[in-house]
Amino acid sequence: MERLCGPKLPFWEANQTFHTDSPDLPECFQLSVLSWLPCVYLWLACPPYLFYLQRNNMGYIMMSVLNRVKTVFALVLWIVCWTDLFGTFNELHQGHTQPPIYFVTPLVVGITMLLATFLIQFERLRGVQSSGILFIFWFLSVLCAIVPFRSKILQAKNEIPDKLRFITFYLYFTLVVSQLILCCFNEKPPLFSNVDTDPNPCPQSTAGFLSTMTFWWFTSMAIKGYKNPLEAKDLWSLNKRDSSEEVVPKLLREWDLEQIKAHRYSSWGENSPEEVEVLLSKTKTHKKPSFLRSLIKAFGPYFLIGSAFKLLQDLITFVNPQLLSLLILFTKQKEAPTWWGYALAFLMFFTAFLQTLILHQHFQYCFVTGMRLRTSIIGAIYRKKHARTYPYALLNLFLFFNLMSVDAQRFMDLTTFLNMLWSAPLQIILALYFLWQNLGPSVLAGVAVMILLIPLNAAIAVRTRAYQVEQMQYKDTRIKLMNEILNGIKVLKLYAWENSFKDKVLEIRQKELNVLRKTAYLGALSTMAWTSAPFLVALMTFAVYVTVDKNNILDAEKAFVSLSLFNILRFPLNMLPQVISSVVQASVSLKRIQDFLSHEELDPESVDRNNTATVTVVNGKFTWAKQDPPALINLMVPQRSLLAVVGHVGCGKSSLVSALLGEMEKLEGHISIRGSVAYVPQQAWIQNATLRDNILFGKAYNEQKYRSCLEACALTPDLEVLPGGDLTEIGEKGINLSGGQRQRVSLARALYNEADVYLLDDPLSAVDSHVAKHIFDHVIGPEGALQGKTRILVTHGISFLPQVDNIMVMVEGRVSEMGSYQELLQQNGAFAEFLRNYSLEDIIEDEATGTTTCYYSREIQNLLSEVRSTADFLFHLVIICTHLSKVFWEYVKAVGPLLTLCICFLYGCQNAAAIGANIWLSQWTNDAAQNMTQENVSMRVGVYAALGITQGILVMVSSFTLAMGNIGAARKLHYALLDNKFHTPQSFFDTTPIGRVINRFSKDIYVIDEALPSTVLMFLGTFFSSLSTMIVIVASTPIFAVVIAPLTFIYVFVQRFYVATSRQLKRLESVTRSPIYSHFSETITGSSVIRAYGRHDAFVLMSDMKVDENQKSYYPGIVANRWLGVRIEFIGNCIVLFAALFAVIGKDNLNPGLVGLSVSYALLVTMSLNWMVRMTSDLESNIVAVERVKEYSETKIEAPWEVEDKKPSPDWPSQGKVEFLDYSVRYREGLDLVLKNLTLSVVGGEKIGIVGRTGAGKSSMTLCLFRLLEAAGGEITIDGVKISEIGLHDLRSKLTIIPQEPVLFSGSLRMNLDPFDKYNDGEVWKALELSHLNKFVSNQPAKLELECSEGGENLSVGQRQLVCLARALLRKTRILILDEATAAIDLETDDLIQSTIRTQFEDCTVFTIAHRLNTIMDYTRVLVLDKGQVAEFDTPSKLLSKRGIFYGMAKDAGLAQ
């Protein structure tokens, strides 16, 4: 340096810089280091940046005023620098020799300014709107010019020695500051960029450098989400570079290259036979294309930018502990100049802030990579599924869902932590290196503790996982049982069996809670391990350090720097095992995706489309799978003819159609089809779209043609029934259409498509015979709409065969005969036999149609209930903010207010213990200053250990108490919900979708059991640790209290914005996720149709749009977290700054220990603050579950089950006399009366038949006896007791009903007959014998313990009806109500039931609701109801002679003349 600056200008003077209150840097240092630093940076950054700009051209920006000003300023700067240079030459000329530095620096800086000018223009031509590289350059230039700026002013106080340089410098400084300010503004978007065309572009693409670094561009969305709930239209468009259209082709290109490479590698050994023998062993290793390599090539470079940020961040992390040690040193030296302290405080703030910015950039890159991975993997899987692949390899629908949802998601989750694989070891090595420097080998003791804790944590994790699996099983059992109970709640009420089933649910629930409790024990242990780890490590290290060597003194610097390093160590050590397990999971996913994408595809050229012949197959040999026997086909279909293909089930008719479509593998032969193809599959494939869209299938709408298609396919009458005509939205899989309607829509689609060749795979089997005839005449047949086309019709319908041109008969995958109808009949071969077999079936088939509707309506009900529960959820989200505190109070009440206080107290104590331990440590370190180190080492270590261990125990106790409180709350909330639901009146279940009630028992209870406790635990932890930080800092520097209020205000302000917006975004993300999967499942089933019509690309596009739509709400969600992170961490960094500043200000009254304590606490706070916001957000989302459960625990309940003072006598009713007095009833408030003023009296032992048309009130009358419907007027008495006054169970247990639909519950047969175990086995067998079931049951190995499946599915309907009869025989009450089964039962069972009732219930009062009059013709009296009133009531013979309503019904049934 001396050569450059000369002997007069020294490079460094310690007295002038450090040891003075007014520091200044020597002129040589200013001219060299400070001037060159920005230049070196720009020259180093330039080559890679220019390379990047060369590759990424974003368009061309017009020259703007801003750009001109920047360019002019840069040129002026160059002129200013060279003015300096010429000034120096001038001095040389005049004989004043200046040192070389005066020549070098202006030259270097001047050339750099020219480079900057060039960059400004080059960026404009490449479409860069805001330059990060130049911003950093100008920022560094300003930073480096501040010192000379101050020195020159100090010099000028005396006199200005060098006027030229003085002026040029101030010109330079002004221009550099101006350039920095100008750099903050953005250029206009490039010409022709998509920003202009997009209605709602993402502001990120036009955001400046500063805005990008701090995520300022997201603020507008945060404000919008805070003011009103966000909707889909508020979301920004996806950035072009993240959209499917860019991302998926990128991956597919790389994957194709991989496959080509693998293919080449595999085929290199196939040269000559001799070589093959030698190389056989080598070629056996079939090289697979690597999907991982494709991913790395496609997305690796972008991800590496994120990794570079991570590396920077890891290195900067270790700067702050070093600065902390300097700060503590500074407080020890009482004579040190104050500016040191301020400089350190600001440096700490600056490094922390830089670390924040860099970390969040790293996360942004990782998350965006993850997002792109998911998009591209889903796109690749979808495209692969729609390529013609071997069908056998791709049958499993569940596998696709897993590939798309689980496996793609795993990659997305992994990318965020993937860098930890190298970053964690790096952080650990660096931390250990600095610790070793600080404390020497004693560090190993601490490391040993850390390593020992790893297996403990691993063991806890393994056990927890096992418990989770067990708990899931209990949960599934409970939900299944609840589902059955809710579906059969009416039967439970009629039999008064609620208590038995309630106990069963509670028994399962108890097991579930026991497992939860065990999990809580483990959770408390692991929380203790996680919180105490840093302390135990510190304790071991410090204890070993002071005891190993008498000269080792633990001072504040060593102690607190080590503590902050241990805190840094804690994160990578805990993350590593998680990351490794994620990597293992992702590698499994990778293999599955790779295998799936590597499946062979069928040759798309197997069908020749350019031939002259219409449809020909010459020596075709086709197979579905290599191991299956091939189908052999020769076929030639003349143009415009109709060929019918017939044969037995499974003879290969549909395979023929598939072969013509190219869906089977062609082993040999030649297929040609001329022109376009339309295909109607055997099972109609309907999209979830409007009926019209299903028919048009991407073709343009032509009114006249469309109407004639509907007419021909007999769809016009159906449109009148559908609510929205042809614009009715068809549900998934065509759920709101009957089978026949779906088939006709599928046919109409083919007809509208106007192809040359029609392949019709048995389209007539699903429709009624008269419709089939209509369709054949109007569409397929010789007179139909398709008469000029080539048609191949697979059919079972015999009646149409005489009208077709040719018939082809298939037997076992071969063509056995072919010819016209007459020719084949004369040959008397396979065809004639086929006719004989099928002509009988044709007649039988006609009767069996028309039973599909009830199933669909039930499905629609389920669909609607799902839709309703979603609406339900949205409705709650809007309300939630208004009464959060109320809901929290409900939860506190469930936990127990005293216990809640106790939990908070324990958390307070645990933090107090932690603070105590650290204050003790700071006292201990002050011993070093007073040279009292040796005498009380053991006391210091002992108390420190005691405080730390107390903290550990308190942590465990508090987490455990909290878990117990949560489990108690879960038990109470579930019990209240269950109890209320058993007491809820039947009308509630008639009007509420069961799905919604089940949702409360499954989803919401799960949240209360598992999600809520962990959120509360984290929230309390972060809240108390943030609080203790504030307390420590205020205690050591009380002035800090002034700053707390403004910082808290900003914190709460940011937090409210974030919580509101992020919740909306999460909701939108989950709403847009399901369409991806539903579209996928829909198109999987229809892939052959989609390919036949050549609509493959359109569907790929639709899938991409759905994925993009989902990512549109996912992306702002990621950015919201970054936005929050930067702001909250900024607050944390301010806390560090103020803690350090106030420590410097009050250093005279503070000892080094306290400074170390308060600053090391401040360094920790950022993490807590960040987590606290996330936890608040989760807590608000999860607490909704409490409210929803509470809402359903407080619905209106029915009358009490038992009324103590009105209990009837045990033998009531002894006679069975029933009286209705002026009795009226309605189903619900506000509805019409169903029974109006009924008055009748039935003597004990009478047999009463109740008849009437549908809706006359027959069933309502029986429900009234059980008080499932409560009276609207009048009363019913049984043996003189008013039934409205006694308890429901007292009433219902004394009546017996055999209901219309037999309901069984899963469990043993014995439980289904006698859930309360009231009767002994002998009585049960007797009942079974009387109900004719004893033979069936005694043949079963399990006898009475025979397991009934859900709903009794493993018994026939007749057997179920007999089980209900056996129940009635067991109860044997004086009054029996028989609601006769309609269609479900065969006549034989019916006779059995009737005869049993006549003999066994001889002396009982029997009410029978009759659908078949012959069963009640011998009853005592018959009650005829009409419109809810008694129309006739007398003996059957008298009623017949009256010739009234009853006579008319008997006549219709053929029982009267």
**Lowest mean pLDDT: which of 114-118, 1171-1175, 1432-1436?**
1171-1175
Measure the CA–CA gap between 1082 and 1095, rounded to whole angstroms: 14
Is residue 254 over pLDDT 90? yes
Identify the weakest region by mean pLDDT among 654-663, 694-703, 729-738.
729-738
Please determine, for residue 332, whether its predicted confidence score (pLDDT) is greater than 90: no
Residue 501: name the closest of 514, 513, 488, 511 by CA.
488
Of 390 and 1291, the structure prediction assigns the larger pLDDT to 1291
pLDDT for the residue numbered 143: 92
According to the 3-state scheme, what is the secondary structure of 88-157?
HHHHHHCCCCCCCHHHHHHHHHHHHHHHHHHHHHHHHHCCCCCCHHHHHHHHHHHHHHHHHHHHHHHHHC
Burial string for 1301-1313 (b: 16+ CB within 10 Å, else e) reads ebbbbbbebbbbb
pLDDT at 230: 86
Q: What pLDDT score was predicted for residue 1384?
A: 46
- Whether 282 shows a pLDDT value over 50: the answer reads no
The pLDDT of residue 1278 is 87
In whole angstroms, what is the distance from residue 677 CA to residue 662 CA? Answer: 12
CA atoms 158, 164, 170, 176: torsion sign: negative
Q: What is the pLDDT of residue 513?
A: 92
Q: State the average pLDDT over residues 634-649.
A: 84
User: What is the per-residue pLDDT for 858?
Assistant: 35
Burial class (CB in 10 A: 0-12, 13-18, 19+), 1349: exposed
* Residue 1312 predicted with pLDDT over 80: yes
* pLDDT > 90 fraction of the chain, expressed in percent and rounded: 15
In angstroms, the CA 1125 to CA 1138 distance is 20
| Residue environment code for 254-273, b if the CB has 16+ CB neighbours within 10 A, otherwise e | bbeebbeebeeeeeeeeeee
CA 1041 – CA 1047 distance, rounded (Å): 10
Residue 111 scores a pLDDT above 90: yes
pLDDT digits (tens, 9 = 90+) for 22-55: 788 888 888 888 899 999 999 999 999 999 888 8
- Mean pLDDT for the stretch of residues 561-570: 84
pLDDT at 279: 47
Rounded Cα distance between 1028 and 908, Å, is 9
pLDDT at 1123: 92
* Average pLDDT rounded to a whole number, residues 921-931: 76
Compute the average pLDDT of residues 662-677.
Answer: 85
Compute the distance between CA of residue 1095 and CA of residue 1088 in angstroms, rounded to an integer.
10
Q: What is the pLDDT of residue 1026?
A: 87
- Residue 507's identity, in one-letter code, is E
Q: Give the DSSP letter string of 368-434.
A: HHHHHHHHHHHHHHHHHHHS-B-GGGG--HHHHHIIIIIIHHHHHHHHHHHTHHHHHHHHHHHHHHH
- Does the pLDDT value for residue 182 go beyond 60? yes
- pLDDT at 934 (0 to 100): 59
Band (289; pLDDT cuts 50, 70, 90): confident
Q: Quick one: pLDDT band at residue 533, thresholds 50, 70, 90?
A: confident
**Per residue in 850-876, pLDDT tens?**
322 233 333 333 333 333 343 443 343
The whole-number average pLDDT for the span 315-327 is 90
- Taking only the tens place, the pLDDT of each residue in 1251-1263 is 887 677 787 888 8
Cα 124 from Cα 63, distance rounded (Å):
8
Residue 935 has pLDDT above 70, yes or no: no
Q: How far apart are CA 229 and CA 451, in angstroms?
A: 48
Q: Give the model confidence (pLDDT) of 47-103 as tens digits.
A: 999 998 888 887 888 888 999 999 999 999 999 998 988 988 888 888 888 888 888
Q: How does residue 346 score in pLDDT terms, banded at 50, 70 and 90?
A: very high
pLDDT of residue 388: 63
Instruction: Look at residue 195 and tell me whether its pLDDT is greater than 80.
Output: no
**Predicted local confidence at residue 777, as pLDDT:** 86
Q: DSSP of 890-924, one letter per residue? A: HHHHHH-HHHHHHHHHHHHHHHHHHHHHHHHHHHH
Per-residue pLDDT at 357 exceeds 90: yes
The residue with tokens 């082993």 is: 667
Specify the pLDDT at position 933: 54
The residue with greater pLDDT, 725 or 195, is 725
pLDDT in tens, 756-771: 889 998 888 777 667 7
**Spacing of C-alpha 681 from chain mean position:** 34
Q: Which residues contact 1001 (CB under 8 A, 6 or more apart)?
A: 478, 479, 482, 974, 977, 978
Given strand 1281-1282, what is the order of strands in its sheet? Answer: 1233-1242, 1218-1226, 1271-1278, 1281-1282
- Contact (CB, 8 A) for 678 and 758: yes
Average pLDDT over residues 779-783: 87
Q: Given this model, what pLDDT does residue 115 score?
A: 93
Q: Pick the residue with more confidence: 358 or 1364?
A: 358
pLDDT over 70 (residue 193): no
Residues 656-672 have a mean pLDDT of 85
For residue 483, pLDDT over 80 is answered with: yes
Provide the CB-side half-sphere exposure for 708 (13 A, CA): 12
Report residue 1382's pLDDT band, with 50, 70 and 90 as the boundaries.
very low
User: Rounded CA gap, 1377 and 1394, in Å?
Assistant: 13
Averaged pLDDT, 1223-1235: 82
Average pLDDT over residues 208-218: 90
Average pLDDT in the 287-293 region? 86
pLDDT confidence of residue 734: 65
How far is 1055 from 1178, CA to CA, in rounded Å? 12
Residue 171, phi then psi, degrees to nearest 5: -60, -50
pLDDT beyond 90 at 181: yes
For residues 1011 and 389, the model is more confident at: 1011
The sheet with strand 1247-1251 has its strands ordered as 1295-1298, 1375-1379, 1405-1409, 1247-1251, 1421-1426, 1429-1434
Supply the pLDDT for residue 929.
Answer: 65
SS3 197: helix
Whole-number mean pLDDT of the chain?
A: 82
What is the pLDDT averaged over residues 421-431?
Answer: 90
Q: Do you know the residue count of the chain?
A: 1457
Short-list 179, 31, 158, 54, CA closest to 107 = 31
* Residue that the structure tokens 């459960």 belong to: 1189
pLDDT at 180: 93
Q: What is the mean pLDDT of residues 1144-1152?
A: 81
Q: What is the pLDDT of residue 865?
A: 39
Element (DSSP H or E) covering residue 342: helix 338-386
The pLDDT assigned to 837 comes to 62
Q: At what angle do helices 443-487 and 556-598 cross, to 10 degrees?
A: 50
Which residue has better confidence, 77 or 1379?
77
Q: Which of 151-165, 571-585, 630-644 has the highest mean pLDDT?
A: 630-644
Instruction: Kindly state the DSSP code that residue 882 receives in the 8-state scheme.
Output: G
Is the pLDDT confidence value at 1389 over 70?
no
Question: Considering only CA atoms, which of 1299, 1319, 1301 is closest in space to residue 1311?
Answer: 1319
pLDDT of residue 284: 46
Q: Which of 1327, 1401, 1389 is nearest to 1359 (CA)?
A: 1389
Phi, psi (degrees; rounded to nearest 5) at 1277: -120, 145
Q: What is the pLDDT of residues 512-530, one digit of tens each?
A: 999 999 988 888 888 888 7
Q: What is the pLDDT of residue 838?
A: 58
Mean pLDDT of 656-675: 85
Tell which wins on pLDDT, 733 or 90: 90
pLDDT of 1033 strictly over 80:
yes
Whether 198 has a pLDDT exceeding 70, the answer reads yes
Residue range 917-946: mean pLDDT, rounded = 78
Reading the block at residue 487, the tokens are: 């579906």
